[in-house]
Structure 1
Amino acid sequence: MSAAKATPQPLRERNKQLARDVVLDAAERLLEESPNAEFSMRALAVEAGVGFATPFNHFGNKNAIMQALSSRLIERMATRFREEEPEGDAIDRLLAMGRISVELLLEKPTVHKAVVGSLGVAGPHPSSVHQHSGKLWSLALGNFSGIAPDMKDVAQAILANQLAFHFRGCVSFWIAGELQDEELGNAFEAGACALLLGFASPRRRNFLIAKIKSLQRAS
């Protein structure tokens, strides 16, 4: 018996997503071209080739557009991780996710600093970025291999969120200029290894301790 075909997305929904992507692509271009990584909603509509009301109709306001850009950035991190298919246990995979995510941020640092930095601005509605970030680190942790059996339940309950908080903290210091581009990856790795020490199996603890010491010597 042949596998059931996926239900195609309705045309209206496809057109809606296309319009959103056009607006988000235009916002990224304007952020990259602007010396201050800024744009006006009017300039955004012109760049996207849509009516002035279209960005408002699809997002509501500029802050929501920046939140959508941040969520899309996280989706790109996940896509690259899946494409690379890192080998190893949860610890190896998690460190690979950190490397992939930092590399992506550094491809367009000015744009990504503006996008992530905008999340500190309160809006009328909570964003879903934290939720997406937690899912990113859950993807990296996979089946939690390398985690001590007696700590697996606790790790499954809290570790992805704690890693999301840690990554966001490192990126916030990077945005503020307190971490340089070349320091961001090591800062994340050191903190991630420290977090994992409380969960790792005895065999993997030695690796984490050696990794932390190596990062300290490199700093």
Structure 2
Amino acid sequence: MSEQTLRKTVAAAPAGRREAGKEERRRRIIHAAKEMIRETGSTGLSMRALAERAGVSLATPYNLFGSRGAVVLAVLEDVRDFRARFAEARTGDPVDHILAVVDLGVDYYLSDPAFYTTLWREVFAISGEVRSAIYNPRRDEFWLGLVEDIAAAGLLRDGIDPRQLLRQLDHQFRSVMLDWVAGDLCAISLGPTIKLGYALILCGAASERARAALEQRVAECQARLLEAEKRKARAD
């Protein structure tokens, strides 16, 4: 190893440790923020309490994130697990694909309901950083791609605009999520209710050759929702 290379290696070591330490503090703050959101039912975090929970100085959250809102957005950006599970949900049929992604999203929300009901209450607050973080152009393009795959497979009637179709699917999704957040819909009915709505909307937009298959999906989704409602009734 040359002397110049050795100097670079020696200089890089402290910098590497500093970056690792910074990343560790960042992870601790995000973890603490998620715990506090879950416990308090609010995204209105106290930065002092957050720093204490994460075991860092009061200045550290500001230095690493800049603001309380940025901390909340950083929590929402932690989607690597969702992306990994989405990769496993890929299927050949574009309708099965979009319904599988619905299942994936619902599973994600139900894995931590106290946390996600809090975030969705913020979405329904009309304005704010949480709403814009969940409903953003990147998210819209992702879901539009799923709808365009259905159109490209010839499963939609001529004249059906994929963007308008996505908007109707979004309206249905949000109305169901509102019922869940309000406590009017139980957890076991959440996924089946969303999927039945999607199947009904897609069936209404289906081409002649795709209608029979989509009608079958409507029947399957309806049967699953009825079963979920029976299970809920037995549990009560």
| SS of equivalent residue, structure 2 residue 205 | coil
How many residues matched? 203
| SS of equivalent residue, structure 2 residue 33 | helix
| SS of equivalent residue, structure 1 residue 150 | coil
The sequence identity of aligned pairs, in percent, is 29
Contact 1:45 1:51 in 2 (8 A): yes
Contact 2:33 2:50 in 1 (8 A): yes
Higher helix share: 2
* Distance change in 2, residues 1:141/1:18 (3 Å): farther
Residue deviations 1:41-83 (CA, integer Å, cap 9, x gap): 222112223332333455554444334434545x64333111x
d(CA) in 1 for partners of 2:154, 2:20: 41
* Distance change in 2, residues 1:183/1:125 (3 Å): closer
* Distance change in 2, residues 1:55/1:119 (3 Å): farther
Picking from 105, 114, 117, the partner of 1:113 is 117
* Distance change in 2, residues 1:85/1:68 (3 Å): same
| TM-score, normalising length: structure 1 | 0.73
Give the AA of the match of 1:190: L
* Distance change in 2, residues 1:148/1:125 (3 Å): closer
Matched, 1:52 2:58: yes
d(CA) in 2 for partners of 1:125, 1:112: 11
d(CA) in 2 for partners of 1:151, 1:166: 21
Residue deviations 1:130-159 (CA, integer Å, cap 9, x gap): 12432342354463325337346x21x334
Query: Which residue of structure 1 lines up, in the alignment, with residue 158 of structure 2?
Result: 150
Query: Which residue of structure 1 lines up, in the alignment, with residue 144 of structure 2?
Result: 138
| SS of equivalent residue, structure 1 residue 51 | coil
Contact 2:76 2:133 in 1 (8 A): no
Cα deviation for residue 100 of structure 1 reads 0.9
Query: Which residue of structure 2 lines up, in the alignment, with residue 175 of structure 1?
Result: 181
Matched, 1:94 2:98: yes
Deviating above 4 A after TM superposition, structure 1's stretches of 4 or more consecutive aligned residues are 11-21, 57-61
Deviates more, 1:106-115 or 1:162-171: 162-171
Cα deviation for residue 13 of structure 1 reads 9.5
* Distance change in 2, residues 1:124/1:213 (3 Å): closer
Cα deviation for residue 181 of structure 1 reads 0.2
Query: Which residue of structure 2 lines up, in the alignment, with residue 6 of structure 1?
Result: none
* Distance change in 2, residues 1:141/1:78 (3 Å): farther
d(CA) in 2 for partners of 1:22, 1:101: 25
Give the AA of the match of 1:93: H
Computed over aligned residues only, the root mean square deviation of the Cα atoms, in angstroms, reads 3.4
Structure 1 unaligned spans of 5+: 1-10
Query: Which residue of structure 2 lines up, in the alignment, with residue 206 of structure 1?
Result: 212
* Distance change in 2, residues 1:66/1:125 (3 Å): closer
Between structure 1 and structure 2, the one with the greater Rg is 2
Contact 1:174 1:184 in 2 (8 A): yes
* Distance change in 2, residues 1:68/1:174 (3 Å): farther
Query: Which residue of structure 2 lines up, in the alignment, with residue 129 of structure 1?
Result: 134
Give the AA of the match of 1:196: L
Residue deviations 1:70-113 (CA, integer Å, cap 9, x gap): 4545x64333111x142132211000001111111111111111
Structure 2 unaligned spans of 5+: 1-15, 230-236
